[in-house]
Amino acid sequence: MRFEPRRNKTVSPRTRRLRVAGGALCAAALAATLVTGCGQDSGDKTASETSEAAKVLPNQTTSPSGSVSGSPSETAQLTKDQSERKELLSTVKVTFDKAATTAVGEVSGGKLTDLDLEGLDDDDDASGSPSPTGSASPTGSPTGGTSPSPEGSASPSGTGSPSPSGSSAGPKWVAEVVEEDGTAHNVTIDAVSGAVIDSAPDADQSDSDKQELADQISKATQTPQQAAKVATDKKPGKVTSVGLDENDSNALVWQVDVVSKDWKKTTFDVDAAKGTITDEQVDDD
């Protein structure tokens, strides 16, 4: 077997060693019939193939890691509000329809006027982060942490990210069900089990409040379930809030919040008498 280095003038000793290594690799990787094929290749071809093999083989162990590194980037693209919606809704087992049926069943002859998933897109933070930072909380000393640590020890939801509802009891549906005379009842439903947590009349209602609610439910010929269907037909997703209210034009509408697959929230105004969409707003957060 003769090697004629025609172009590798300055590296002939190294080329000679690579040829030997190339022959060994071919003999181990291929069958005996391929050994003669490797030996019959020209010197330059054998050297180049051997050097390429030496480059590729060590890199094969690192290539799979590239595919894994791309996955976290999808979650990094979500905004804070989108991440909170995703986290909370992943724990909810009771849909809007089921919660609405349960709430109405608590009040004989009542009609649903409002149903919200507590803790979703709310402005009022239950964490109360400014107050625990004061020096009046001695519970922080056993933990040995910084000033935010008392908040974590007092409220498990502060440290446990899987519980986004701000309560150890989990997510809840909060409903308002109104009798024909306008008397409102507040009903709270566990959004995981579907059990009624609390049901009681609204003690803060005035006579004018009752009259206003009585007028509204008499004019709302569209049910909240019908309004929710109109909204989700336009934007498929999960209904997280439905409320009877008057818009800026004093028209009675159902305001329906829908969270789509991209975890963005869209609020629809659905005419409470005609069942048509009069307004649509997408929350960019």
- What's the mean pLDDT in 105-120? 96
> Taking 70 as the threshold, does the pLDDT of residue 178 lie above it?
yes
Strand, helix or coil at 270? strand
Taking all residues of the chain, what is their mean pLDDT, rounded to a whole number? Answer: 73
Q: Are 129 and 151 spatial neighbours (Cβ–Cβ below 8 Å)?
A: yes
**pTM to 2 decimals?**
0.60
pLDDT digits 0-9 by tens, 134-143: 334 334 433 4
Rounded to 5 degrees, φ, ψ at 59 are -85, -10
User: Using 50, 70 and 90 to split pLDDT, how confident is the model at 253?
Assistant: very high
**Predicted confidence (pLDDT) per residue in 114-169, tens digit:** 999 998 876 544 333 333 333 343 344 334 443 333 333 333 333 333 333 334 46
Rounded to a whole number of angstroms, the CA Rg of the chain reads: 34
Which range, 63-67, 122-126, 156-160, 259-263, is most confident? 259-263
In this prediction, residue 75 carries a pLDDT of 54
Angle at 84 between CA 170 and CA 171, to 5 degrees: 15
- The set of residues, in sequence order, having a beta carbon less than 8 Å from that of 88 and lying 6+ positions away, is 117, 119, 120, 164, 165, 171
